[in-house]
């Protein structure tokens, strides 16, 4: 068959132009703010040089940090010119270490991470609080309730429920962490001895639930969605919510912090990060259903409905844009000093504004 030579030449020209165009793209692949279905950040193409990359270290994946995840997924960080990578795991001590070493620019963690950094002679700067009260749930296994002859449907006071914890083996993520401290502090608040319970290390929601089912532990402490997941897996139920304990209702909890040196050198960047998280706090509070859909990939294996229920239960702790007070810091610090042998925090820090924490960046970010 005779082939038209002009047609062949034309086709070769078209093919050449196509491949030339493919080789001259202006995009580069970098770490971005969107998680994969496994819950880890995935790679996404963006224009090179447009965003400043920052790393935020977190101790564990919990719903208390939801405003951060929402801020990422809603694009609030990108609006501020920031491309966020989350480094997850290792507990509060790991978060503290990444800030001190400069591996991460920011950390989100309970107050003890910042206070331990301060007691170690370093200078942290807490710039925002993601929560205005403690968000822990104490969960008991169905096996333990049955063994103790406790009717979970019976109405009990918080004092009575605390008394029922005597003799229980309860899990926290790490010995000496905030969960450990607040389990013991809760016992003493209601007239019990802190050593009336045995605290053991079981890190992560899945392992806690599995060991509860096996009867290895009697329950545990963790932020949402721990209680919801435990009930969904038919392993146990919520026993005591921190929201029912008055002493925990006005307390600095999960905070966004950096080093004072970094904050001083990167003022505008800190304002931008605070503005993004502040928008995340506001959006999460007002839109729990949409927020749950946005962040479901961060909690692989947890249904969107459970995440939504968890966010709704935390609504009262997502206040303002993360403003802090001296009183709330004092309330957070007291239990940590009481159990100084566990926490390593022996001396009370000066909790006046402008010491190791400030609302300055929030005020600038939101024009207050």
The string of pLDDT tens digits covering residues 278-303 is: 999 999 999 999 999 999 999 999 99
Locus of tokens 């007239």: 191
Q: What is the pLDDT of residue 2?
A: 43
* 248: confidence class by pLDDT, cuts 50, 70, 90: very high
Q: Is-contact 117 218, C-beta < 8 A?
A: no
* 35: confidence class by pLDDT, cuts 50, 70, 90: very low
Cα separation of 166 and 181, whole Å?
16
Question: Is pLDDT of 28 > 60?
Answer: no
Cα separation of 166 and 224, whole Å?
23
**Average pLDDT score over residue span 85-114:** 93
Q: What percent of the chain has pLDDT over 90?
A: 80
**pTM of the predicted model as reported, rounded to 2 decimal places:** 0.84
CA dihedral 206, 161, 316, 76 (to 10 degrees): -20
Per the prediction, the chain carries an average pLDDT of 88
Two structure tokens written together for 347: 């001396």
* 91: confidence class by pLDDT, cuts 50, 70, 90: confident
Q: Is-contact 82 51, C-beta < 8 A?
A: yes
| Residue with more model confidence, 8 or 289 | 289
Question: Is pLDDT of 30 > 80?
Answer: no
Locus of tokens 């169905």: 142
Nearest to 271 by CA among 81, 132, 64, 32: 81
Angle between helices 267-286 and 288-295 (to 10 degrees): 120
Two structure tokens written together for 239: 């026993």
**Average pLDDT score over residue span 75-97:** 94
CA distances from 112 to 93, 178, 254 (A): 9, 7, 10
Two structure tokens written together for 105: 């620019």
Question: Is pLDDT of 40 > 90?
Answer: no
Q: What is the pLDDT of residue 49?
A: 58
Cis peptide before 225 (omega within 30 of 0): yes
Q: Where are the alpha helices (DSSP H) in the chain?
A: 5-22, 66-73, 76-79, 91-101, 111-119, 142-148, 158-163, 178-189, 205-213, 226-232, 260-265, 267-286, 288-295, 304-313, 326-338, 340-343, 360-365
Lowest mean pLDDT: which of 87-91, 182-186, 318-322? 87-91
Locus of tokens 């392992």: 207
* 13: confidence class by pLDDT, cuts 50, 70, 90: very low
Q: At 87, is the secondary structure helix, strand, or coil?
A: strand
Question: Is pLDDT of 96 > 80?
Answer: yes
Q: What is the pLDDT of residue 207?
A: 96
Q: What is the pLDDT of residue 119?
A: 82
Choose from 12-26, 93-107, 322-336 the range with maximum mean pLDDT: 322-336
Cα separation of 114 and 180, whole Å?
17
């Amino acid at each position: 068959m005779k082939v038209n030579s002009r047609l062949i030449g034309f086709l070769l020209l078209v093919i050449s132009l196509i491949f030339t165009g493919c080789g001259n793209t202006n995009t580069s692949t970098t770490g971005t703010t969107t998680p994969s279905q496994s819950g880890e950040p995935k790679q996404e193409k963006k224009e090179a040089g447009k965003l400043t990359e920052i790393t935020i270290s977190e101790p564990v994946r919990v719903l208390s940090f939801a405003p951060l995840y929402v801020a990422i997924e809603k694009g609030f960080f990108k609006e501020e010119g920031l491309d966020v990578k989350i480094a997850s795991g290792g507990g509060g001590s790991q978060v503290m270490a990444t800030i001190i070493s400069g591996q991460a620019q920011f950390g989100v963690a309970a107050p003890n991470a910042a206070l331990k950094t301060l007691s170690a002679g370093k200078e942290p700067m807490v710039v925002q609080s993601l929560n205005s009260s403690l968000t822990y749930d104490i969960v008991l296994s169905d096996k333990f309730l049955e063994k103790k002859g406790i009717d979970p449907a019976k109405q009990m006071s918080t004092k009575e429920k605390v008394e029922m914890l005597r003799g229980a083996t309860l899990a926290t993520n790490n010995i000496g962490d905030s969960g450990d401290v607040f389990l013991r502090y809760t016992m003493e608040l209601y007239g019990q001895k802190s050593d009336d319970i045995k605290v053991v290390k079981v890190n992560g929601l899945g392992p806690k639930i599995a060991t509860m089912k096996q009867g290895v532990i009697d329950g545990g402490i963790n932020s949402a969605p721990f209680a919801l997941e435990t009930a969904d897996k038919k392993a146990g139920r919520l026993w005591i919510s921190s929201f029912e304990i008055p002493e925990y209702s006005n307390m600095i909890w999960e905070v966004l912090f950096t080093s004072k040196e970094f904050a001083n050198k990167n003022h505008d960047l800190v304002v931008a990060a605070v503005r993004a998280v502040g928008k995340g706090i506001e959006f999460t509070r007002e839109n729990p259903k949409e927020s749950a859909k946005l962040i479901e990939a961060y909690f692989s294996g947890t249904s969107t409905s459970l995440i939504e229920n968890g966010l709704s239960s935390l609504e009262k702790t997502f206040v303002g844009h993360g403003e802090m007070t001296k009183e709330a810091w004092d309330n957070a610090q007291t239990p940590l000093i009481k159990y100084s042998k566990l926490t390593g925090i022996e001396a009370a820090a000066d909790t006046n504004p402008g010491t190791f924490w400030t609302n300055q960046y929030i005020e600038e970010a939101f024009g207050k």
